[in-house]
Amino acid sequence: MFIIMLFLGLIISIQVKAIELNKQKTESAKSDIAYYTNLLNIEKEYTVKTTAELEVLREKKNELLEKALIDSGYTTMFETLQKINRIAGFTEVSGTGVKVILDDQLVDDPRYPALTSAIHDSDIRQVVDIMRSGGAIAIAVNGERVVSTSELTCNGPTVQINKRKYPVPYVITCVGDPVKISTLLSNDYYLNGRILSNIDFKMELSDSITIPAFSDYDKINQYIDALKGDKVS
């Protein structure tokens, strides 16, 4: 009888320790989530602030350039410049299109580890490539115009787009045929597999989408150098 009681006591002791260990792990996980959530919020606030400031400065510069050319009698040059800017992605574009929202799906389920249920740069690139193949005339990710020199790379809990860091969610918009592009996205094997991996994928068709101008056109020479093999600062 003594041996049985001792054995039961040992089992209970092990169970209590296991419960306490799981509790510590849960508290540690909550602390980590709070820490990274705070980091993401800081990144969001900084991005919103700097983007707004850059947009104001860009508009002022464009107004001064337009006034200088027209006042100097270079109307034809100004019209040509506008045409080149549209082709190169240096002006905003509006029209019908598609909006896709990609987000992490943080769930406490061993079937969906954090690595597979988190958004990666490859997921964003896949959506962008499909939009291009569907004939999109302009694409943006979180308000950043995507052009031939744009880079999409993972950087910790964020993705770097045109040298700027953005946290989830990632809003990918395009101007183009909404039916054609949405059909391609819905039938894509890779995206359907990622959805099964439990990422958060939403898609909307829109009658009015505005894609902003490429934000780094002031540094276009640096991007041209990068295409030649030189380093972009």
C-beta of residue 165 within 8 angstroms of C-beta of residue 185 = no
Could you report the per-residue pLDDT of 143-200, keeping only the tens digit for each? 999 988 888 998 777 899 988 888 899 999 999 999 999 999 999 999 999 998 889 9
Instruction: Supply the pLDDT for residue 65.
Output: 72
**Rounded Cα–Cα distance for residues 138 and 43 (Å):** 26
Instruction: Supply the pLDDT for residue 113.
Output: 59
Instruction: Supply the pLDDT for residue 178.
Output: 97
Strands (DSSP E) found in 113-177:
138-141, 144-145, 152-155, 158-161, 164-166, 170-175
Percentage of the chain beyond pLDDT 70 is 77
pTM over 0.75: no
Q: What is the CATH number of domain 92-217?
A: 3.30.70.1880
DSSP state of 82: H
Instruction: Supply the pLDDT for residue 211.
Output: 94
Instruction: Supply the pLDDT for residue 223.
Output: 46
Q: Please, what is the Cα angle at 105 between 152 and 200, to 5 degrees? A: 70
Instruction: Supply the pLDDT for residue 44.
Output: 74
Q: Which residues of the chain have pLDDT under 50?
A: 220, 223-224, 226-227, 232-233
**Rounded Cα–Cα distance for residues 141 and 161 (Å):** 8
